[in-house]
């Protein structure tokens, strides 16, 4: 058919077929004509699209009426460029529809970002070729900056990600080209500073110390990538840190055998006695001058900074790994090494809600609660991340480790972070284990 049309054109002055002649191609029932490849294709949804060529790639963006084209997120090779993450529908609704057989599993789309401390600059999507174990994930209050710390045999590293809104279906997540901080010691805790204390983005970072090095807490300016100040704890390890929400001129440090409240103006310290036990987690109240510490000797202690004594003590079944003080400051959620996760009423000093199913034996795992205080996320030793309802303690969902992270060791417990307005718009949570960051939408 094309030959006869071409010979007819050469007979009339050797003119090549124009767009008007292409439009006059005969219509075949059940087929459609592609003017780029000059071929007919079956009108079948299950039929495969024509093989991409260099010509079709150039004209794909120009041709708006091409069939079978879908909006996809391009896999970029440069990790410094923004990566688009598709946001599917509500996660509980999709899981319920998939269990009923209404939808297939391929509708769940996940995009993977590499968070590697000493890996190559090439971004890998869905691969296990990376180094380092992600130990902390933390997003700021506006949820436009994400910090990820990774550790390996060579030391540790701290990366900064910028999260922003792209359009109705996508989120931009861009990693800075240079690492913010690369210490030799392990990063044990990270916390953002409130804007009341410092208008620019800044974070408190605690380093464990050991092997001839002192434990310390450093104040890092995230915009300039430089340290503002550093506070050392001689001959001691530092396990946790936080800013004192009651007094904006001091910070709280959880160290070996005891805790401290460091005044950055007068450079004085107030000692928090914890029965000579390591303070694995420390949090500060905002309305009253109280500091809560969780120690290795199974005690959750409330310290009154005015009387310089402990207000009360609550005993756990095992070492206290992490605590989360709720906004009302009347309840507190704590997790222990034996897998015990409990919400406590601080007025009655007894537990009110239990969260069963958490698996842990030895590690201080960080627990995460969203801004509305409705969801609780904790990764376990079995590499599964569980989601509970904060009010009732009901187990909502259990997320298995991704396929590319299924062969990781049980020593590499994943890290997670949850938020309701990633990039100022999207609710979701992030999970990272052996160097790959996985973002899910709620």
Asked whether residue 27 carries a pLDDT value surpassing 60, the answer given is: yes
- At residue 411 the predicted structure's pLDDT band, cuts being 50, 70 and 90, is low
- At residue 59 the predicted structure's pLDDT band, cuts being 50, 70 and 90, is very low
Name which residue leads in pLDDT, 290 or 361.
Answer: 290
pLDDT in tens, 154-210: 778 888 888 887 665 566 777 887 788 778 788 999 999 887 677 678 899 999 887
Asked whether residue 246 carries a pLDDT value surpassing 80, the answer given is: yes
Tell me which residue of 297, 274, 273, 293 sits closest to 282, measured CA to CA.
Answer: 293
Cα(108)–Cα(89) distance, integer angstroms: 9
- At residue 25 the predicted structure's pLDDT band, cuts being 50, 70 and 90, is confident
Tell me which residue of 348, 359, 440, 437 sits closest to 395, measured CA to CA.
Answer: 359
The answer to whether the beta carbons of residues 274 and 256 sit under 8 Å apart is no
- Weakest mean pLDDT among 41-45, 136-140, 311-315: 41-45
- At residue 307 the predicted structure's pLDDT band, cuts being 50, 70 and 90, is confident
Max CA-CA distance within the chain? Answer: 105
The answer to whether the beta carbons of residues 251 and 231 sit under 8 Å apart is yes
Torsions phi, psi for 47 (to 5 deg): -75, 145
Asked whether residue 254 carries a pLDDT value surpassing 80, the answer given is: yes
Helices (H), strands (E): how many in the chain? 4, 31
pLDDT in tens, 82-133: 333 333 445 556 565 656 655 554 444 444 444 433 332 323 233 233 457 7
pLDDT in tens, 148-160: 888 876 778 888 8
What share of the chain in percent tops pLDDT 90?
30
Average pLDDT, the chain: 75
What share of the chain in percent tops pLDDT 70?
70
pTM equals 0.70
What are the strands, taking DSSP E only, across 131-195?
A: 133-139, 145-152, 155-165, 170-175, 187-192
- Weakest mean pLDDT among 112-126, 247-261, 270-284: 112-126
Tell me which residue of 394, 372, 383 sits closest to 416, measured CA to CA.
Answer: 383
Confidence (pLDDT) at 260: 92
């Amino acid at each position: 058919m094309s030959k006869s049309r071409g010979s007819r054109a050469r007979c009339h002055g050797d003119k090549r077929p124009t767009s008007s002649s292409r439009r006059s191609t005969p219509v075949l029932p059940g087929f459609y004509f592609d003017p780029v490849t000059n071929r007919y294709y079956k009108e079948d949804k299950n039929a495969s699209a024509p093989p991409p060529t260099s010509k079709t790639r150039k004209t794909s963006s120009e041709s708006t009426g091409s069939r079978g084209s879908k909006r996809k997120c391009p896999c970029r090779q440069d990790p410094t460029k923004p990566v688009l993450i598709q946001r599917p529908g509500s996660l509980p609704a999709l899981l319920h529809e998939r269990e009923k057989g209404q939808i297939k599993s391929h509708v769940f789309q996940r995009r993977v970002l590499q968070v590697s401390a000493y890996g190559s600059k090439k971004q890998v999507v869905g691969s296990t070729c990376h180094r380092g174990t992600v130990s902390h994930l933390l997003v700021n209050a506006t949820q436009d900056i994400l910090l990820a710390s990774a550790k390996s045999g060579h030391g540790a590293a701290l990366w900064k990600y910028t999260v922003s809104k792209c359009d109705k279906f996508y989120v931009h997540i861009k990693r800075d080209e240079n690492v913010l901080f690369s210490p030799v010691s392990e990063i044990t805790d990270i916390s953002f500073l409130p804007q009341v204390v410092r208008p620019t983005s800044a974070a408190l970072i605690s380093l464990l110390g050991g092997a001839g090095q002192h434990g310390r807490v450093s104040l890092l300016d995230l915009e300039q990538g430089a340290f503002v100040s550093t506070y050392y704890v001689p001959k001691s390890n530092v396990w946790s840190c936080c800013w004192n929400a009651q007094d904006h001129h001091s910070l709280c440090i959880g160290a070996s055998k005891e805790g401290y409240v460091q005044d950055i103006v007068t450079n004085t310290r107030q000692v928090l006695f914890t029965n000579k036990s390591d303070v694995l987690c420390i949090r500060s109240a905002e309305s009253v001058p109280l500091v809560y510490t969780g120690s290795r000797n199974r005690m959750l202690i409330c310290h009154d900074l005015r009387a310089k004594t402990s207000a009360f003590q609550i005993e756990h079944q095992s070492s206290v790994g992490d605590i989360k003080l709720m906004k009302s400051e009347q309840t507190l959620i704590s997790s222990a090494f034996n897998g015990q996760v409990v919400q406590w009423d601080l007025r009655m000093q007894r537990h009110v809600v239990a969260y069963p199913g958490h698996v842990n034996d030895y590690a201080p795992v960080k627990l995460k609660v969203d801004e509305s205080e409705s969801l609780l996320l904790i990764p376990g030793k079995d590499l599964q991340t569980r989601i509970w309802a904060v009010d009732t303690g009901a187990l909502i969902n259990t997320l298995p480790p991704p396929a590319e992270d299924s062969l990781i060791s049980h020593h590499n417990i994943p890290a997670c972070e949850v938020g309701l307005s990633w990039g100022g718009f999207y609710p979701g949570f992030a999970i990272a284990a052996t160097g790959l960051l996985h973002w899910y939408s709620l």
